[in-house]
Amino acid sequence: MNHCNDFPPEAIEVLDHLRPAIRISPFSGLSMMHSLTPVSHPVASKGDSLDPALWQDGGTQLTFYRSGRDAITASLRALGLSTSDVVSIITTSGGPYVSSCVTRAIEAICKTSRELEPNTAAILLIHEFGFPAELPERARKLGVPIIEDCAYAFGTRLRSKRVGSIGDFVIYSLPKSLPIPFGGMLVSRGPVHRKLPSNPLSKAAHDFLSTYMRQTYPHWEGWNELRRENWWHFAKTCSAFGLTPYFDMTNDVIPGVCLLRLPASSNGPAMKARCQNAGIECTEYYGQNGFYFPVHQCLTAYDKAYILNNLLHSEDTEPL
């Protein structure tokens, strides 16, 4: 569909008090309940969607938390790290930006570094925005525990293996991929129950997450494909305005956001302000000359037209 002609201008330039909220997360009350409707595929057999081995090669334990941040904290506590230890962070891009949610969780327990240090006690490998990161050989040779941050990489695979295949711990943030209002997941190799801190989740919350994931499991393949279709829609449309994909899209990638590289003429802060004022969750990829916004499977044709109108039809972008 052509983003300029799908809807009249009055439908896109909405009244101030009716601005939508389009988040990076697919969650809304409607989307959560709609995803629980019956599907034509067989219901996942017990263990399919929650089998630790599905989420991590050799995984044996899966624990739910309220958020991905809580899961990060739990992994560091399980490793027994202290203030003198360093967690070295490696990302897909190698750029300077790391979410403050991640760094604050780590720095409440120990130090962070973007380099391998003499006192590196663990490595956090972040698969940025669903695009897989490679672990350098020099990092592998350190022999320290590896925590894979798959918060945005729910369905991504690397060389035909699901990301999470090399970590001692793997972190997932469920609302980034599923239409659900909370939930972090920590998958680990070997029995670590005695090492994990107490889980603040109530039994009812744990049971809800477990049930929800089992019941929505048949949707996941279709949801992943919709994310890829939305990514291509945004990438192709925005390319005419000089906003090009930041990472190459391969067959194994399920994008967590649409991350585009801004042309030199773009005003990133102004673009961010315009889109956020319109109710679109987005931000700059700081220090990397990038910009990202929602790409999730619950976006409607109107949502996509609305995003593109605010992203492209401004003083900050001009067609090539």
Q: Are residues 225 and 240 in the same domain?
A: yes
59-65: strand order across its sheet: 59-65, 184-189, 169-173, 146-149, 120-126, 86-91, 111-113
- Looking at the structure of the chain, the number of domains it has is 2
Q: Are residues 88 and 17 in the same domain?
A: no
Position 43 confidence tier, pLDDT thresholds 50, 70, 90: very low
What pLDDT shows up at residue 42?
Answer: 47
Nearest to 130 by CA among 22, 257, 216: 257
Q: Which of 186, 218, 250 is the last residue of a domain?
A: 218
Buried b / exposed e across 99-138, counting CB within 10 Å, b at 16+? eeebeebbeebbbbeeebeeebbbbbbbbbbbbbbeeeee
Choice among 7-11, 265-269, 298-302 with the minimum mean pLDDT: 7-11
In CATH, what number is assigned to the domain containing residue 191? 3.40.640.10
The residue segments making up the domain with residue 191 are 52-218
Residue at 45 is within a domain? no
What pLDDT shows up at residue 55?
Answer: 78
Asked if residue 141 lies in contact with residue 120, where contact means CB atoms within 8 angstroms, the answer is no
Q: Provide the whole-model pTM.
A: 0.90
**Mean pLDDT score, 113-118:** 96
**Mean pLDDT score, 216-239:** 94
Residue 231 has pLDDT above 90, yes or no: yes
Q: What is the mean pLDDT of the chain?
A: 88
Residue 68 has pLDDT above 80, yes or no: yes
**Collapsed DSSP state (helix, strand, coil) of residue 76:** helix
Residue at 173 is within a domain? yes
Choice among 101-105, 111-115, 123-127, 192-196 with the minimum mean pLDDT: 192-196
Residue 125 has pLDDT above 90, yes or no: yes
Choice among 91-95, 190-194, 206-210, 306-310 with the minimum mean pLDDT: 190-194
**Mean pLDDT score, 72-86:** 94
What pLDDT shows up at residue 296?
Answer: 97
Q: Are residues 88 and 128 in the same domain?
A: yes
Tokens linked to 163: 């990301």
Beta bridge partners of 61: 188
SS3 content of the chain, % helix, strand, coil (to 5): 35, 20, 50
Q: Are residues 225 and 212 in the same domain?
A: no
- Helical (H) or strand (E) element with 64: strand 59-65
Beta carbons within 8 Å of 228's beta carbon, 6+ residues apart: 249, 253, 254, 255
Residue at 77 is within a domain? yes
Residue at 1 is within a domain? no
Residue 9 has pLDDT above 60, yes or no: yes
Residue at 88 is within a domain? yes
Choice among 59-63, 70-74, 138-142, 275-279 with the minimum mean pLDDT: 59-63
What pLDDT shows up at residue 192?
Answer: 61
Q: Are residues 213 and 108 in the same domain?
A: yes
Backbone angles phi, psi at 170, to 5 degrees: -130, 130
What pLDDT shows up at residue 316?
Answer: 62
Residue 243 has pLDDT above 90, yes or no: yes
What pLDDT shows up at residue 298?
Answer: 97
Residue at 176 is within a domain? yes
What pLDDT shows up at residue 45?
Answer: 47
- Residue 226 and residue 220: Cα distance in Å, rounded? 10
Asked if residue 244 lies in contact with residue 260, where contact means CB atoms within 8 angstroms, the answer is yes
Tokens linked to 256: 């967590």
Residue at 44 is within a domain? no
What pLDDT shows up at residue 209?
Answer: 92
Find where tokens 């102004």 sit.
Answer: 270
Residue type, position 210, single letter: S
What pLDDT shows up at residue 189?
Answer: 81
What is the tens place of the pLDDT at every residue in 147-179? 999 999 988 865 556 677 788 999 999 999 999
Residue at 170 is within a domain? yes
Choice among 30-39, 113-122, 188-197 with the minimum mean pLDDT: 188-197
What pLDDT shows up at residue 169?
Answer: 93
Q: Which of 168, 186, 218 is the last residue of a domain?
A: 218
Q: Are residues 198 and 75 in the same domain?
A: yes
**Collapsed DSSP state (helix, strand, coil) of residue 184:** strand
